[in-house]
Structure 1
Amino acid sequence: MASPATLLVSIRHQEGALCTLQAATAPYSPHSPQQLSHTQAFSTSRSGPAWHSPGEETEVSKPAGAQELEEERRAPGKNPKEEESRHLSPLSSGEPRPERLAWPGLARRETLREMALHSKMSRLVEATSRLVQVEQTLLLPLLQQRPLPLHPKDSIEFRNICSRMALQREGQQFERDLQEAHQCLKTIIGKLICSLAVVPSDSYIPVRSALRQILQNLLAM
């Protein structure tokens, strides 16, 4: 049988895991857009179109490349519409296509996958926070009256898994650690429910109900 001190040890490791999870789920701060300096703003305003007084005739010189292209189109034997259609012809099957057009659904699949991982992490944080709250407010006062069999090693393992997750934050190893953290938290809650089940006391009914609700939310993930 474990004393309240043993439960406090478990709670301390669970709180450490909770802080690690909350730090891992915190979104990155977006970078602020780069502001134009005074010199850049001045040069941009100077590079704009020039204004002329009314009645003043101005001649806009065409670039050399554009003038040669226009002369080439006006040459005899060449139809401008045929030239334009030739430049706008679709890519053949053998020509490489831009990557963003070749895989239009790739970015969306990655986004949905990241959203699913973020949702799973948020639920894990919520379940851990709820477990610590139930242990502190409901279970700890009851242990002062009657000890229960507890397993603090599971809470230590849970904290270690969350620490590994904080170092990864992405990739297959992160997903495996996330799944392992879910399983470890389920084990902690399941063992607490089993320990409370052997105690013939109505005072433990609210604790068991709260723990079952947390476990049910985890199983739904």
Structure 2
Amino acid sequence: MAGPAALLVSIRHQAGALHTLRAAAAPHPPRSPLQPSHTQTFSTSRSGPAWHSPGEDPEVSEPGEAQKLQEERKALWKSPEEGEESGDLSPLNPDEPKPERLAQPGLVRRETLREMALRSKVSRLAEATSRLVQVEQTLLLPLLQQHPLALHPKDSIEFRNICSHMALQREGQQFERDLHEAHECLKTIIEKLLCSLAVSPSDSYIPVQSALRQILRDLMAM
């Protein structure tokens, strides 16, 4: 038989698993746009060669050469002929399909329906864990001071370890397997608590048993 100390150990590990589950249930952080090195701005007071404006060529010193270079640049950037769109990269052969627009680096990837469903399940598992910790702290812990019960802290340790491993995956088949194992482990924790309470029936256990059964029903419906 175990007293409050064993339950506190279980609660501590369940709280660690809860923190991990809440982090895993959060949306993926957006990817920050990549800034190419050639677009970075530099201070004009920085040591080194002087920086020139876009229309300036540092190698051109004669006015006539500068004007000639400017005309050549204008010719390169003149408007496209009639029937063409500015910036259109259509192939020369009209029968060839147009190339698809490439995804720009730094854009946030949209979450798939499967990923949304998995994240929802993680969130519900976190909610069930939170409810279990609350029941243990507010209802079960005071009872153990008078009525020690058989507890199994190892299950809570295993639950925390599974959640920690799952959070490292973030997605994929291993993530789904870990999520399933965490779900089953939490069910086992609650079922064993109910069995321990049933060994020594008492009216004082009824609120605890009712709350644990409700959490278990919600877990089985996931």
- Normalising TM by the smaller chain, what interval? 0.5 to 0.7
User: Whole-Å Cα distance in 1 between the matches of residues 31 and 79 of structure 2?
Assistant: 41
In the TM superposition, what are the counterparts of 1:57-206 in structure 2 within 5 Å? 66=81, 87=94, 111-206=112-207
Aligned-partner SS, 2:112? helix
> Which AA in structure 2 matches 1:146?
H
Deviation, 1:27, is 2.4
> Could you report, residue by residue, the CA deviation over 1:80-139 in whole angstroms, capped at 9, with x for unpaired residues?
xxxxxx93x697xxxx99699xxxxxx99x711011101100000000000000000000
- Relative to structure 1, is the Cα distance of residues 201 and 111 closer, same or farther in structure 2, using a 3 angstrom cutoff? same
User: Whole-Å Cα distance in 1 between the matches of residues 30 and 162 of structure 2?
Assistant: 28
User: Whole-Å Cα distance in 2 between the matches of residues 115 and 28 of structure 1?
Assistant: 11
- Relative to structure 1, is the Cα distance of residues 117 and 99 closer, same or farther in structure 2, using a 3 angstrom cutoff? farther
> Could you report, residue by residue, the CA deviation over 1:25-75 in whole angstroms, capped at 9, with x for unpaired residues?
22244357799999xxxx9xxxxxxxxxxxxxxxxx9969737x99xxxxx
- Relative to structure 1, is the Cα distance of residues 9 and 64 closer, same or farther in structure 2, using a 3 angstrom cutoff? closer
User: Whole-Å Cα distance in 2 between the matches of residues 166 and 156 of structure 1?
Assistant: 16
1:16 equivalent to 2:16? Answer yes
User: Whole-Å Cα distance in 1 between the matches of residues 164 and 33 of structure 2?
Assistant: 33
RMSD (Å), alpha carbons: 3.5
Give the structure with the higher percent helix. 1
> Could you report, residue by residue, the CA deviation over 1:129-183 in whole angstroms, capped at 9, with x for unpaired residues?
0000000000000000110111111000000001101111111100000000000
What is aligned with 2:6? Answer: 6
% same residue: 72
- Structure 2: segments with no counterpart, 5+ residues: 42-53, 55-74, 85-92, 103-108
User: Whole-Å Cα distance in 1 between the matches of residues 101 and 137 of structure 2?
Assistant: 54
What is the total number of aligned residue pairs between the two structures?
175
Aligned-partner SS, 1:66? coil
